[in-house]
A and B are shown apart, each in its own frame.
Chain A
Amino acid sequence: GAGVSQSPSNKVTEKGKDVELRCDPISGHTALYWYRQSLGQGLEFLIYFQGNSAPDKSGLPSDRFSAERTGGSVSTLTIQRTQQEDSAVYLCASSLSGSSGNTIYFGEGSWLTVV
């Protein structure tokens, strides 16, 4: 497809389990972002990838969270030892480059529920 693709769309996991969330950005987009949106809240920045540069991880809330981007394309966000407070929608977005004027295109999100 032409848009940002995320999977799974919904994930229910038990507390303490690890989860992986996948993002396939728009082809040719070098910038990729992960955000988290908790119920009724705004968007919380998690991590930013730009080309081959080292990612900006300044938004990751704890060392249980990590992300990688392979081949400058697909990205995986991993949450280890999930906690109930990790329940949220995880949104991936991409843009043509990291320039501030570029439009950021969002996927439909991965809804994570930790029980």
Chain B
Amino acid sequence: AQSVTQLDSHVSVSEGTPVLLRCNYSSSYSPSLFWYVQHPNKGLQLLLKYTSAATLVKGINGFEAEFKKSETSFHLTKPSAHMSDAAEYFCVVSEVGGSYIPTFGRGTSLIVHP
């Protein structure tokens, strides 16, 4: 079985400061992991994904995430927040060899203050 936990429902940062959105997963098989972003009244857009290659994954808009198997984590980071980063972020797990139905976290709302 697979599950994903986003540890913060809301994260508030000031523009220009680092962003950290935390995600822990559980998987009986080798996981594929994704981060999606959803801007208000929009669909979900892929930020980045991990599929058993390099553990440090770089995505769009300066975001990156590191797969840490020992910690079952896949935290999303960005060195410097922009106002345009304000959105809802979803961590997603899908199992290689397991269910092909991805499981979504409950989401983290990123608030960016000027």
Contacts and interface: CB of A to CB of B under 8 A. Distances in A.
Contacts of B104: 35, 42-43, 45
A101 B32 contact: yes
A109 B43 contact: yes
- B interface, how many residues as a size bin? 20 to 34
Contacts of B46: 103-105
Contacts of A108: 42-43
A91 B49 contact: no
A59 B35 CA distance: 22
B49 A107 contact: no
B90 A43 contact: yes
B16 interface: no
B105 A42 contact: yes
Nearest to A35: B104
Interface of B: 31-32, 34, 36, 42-46, 49, 51-52, 90, 92, 94-98, 100-107
* Prevailing SS type, chain B contact patch: strand
Interface residues of A, number: 25
Interface in A6-62: 31, 33, 35, 41-43, 45, 48, 50, 56, 59
A50 B43 contact: no
Given A43-B104, A101-B32, 6 more contacts: A35-B104, A43-B90, A50-B100, A100-B51, A104-B34, A104-B92
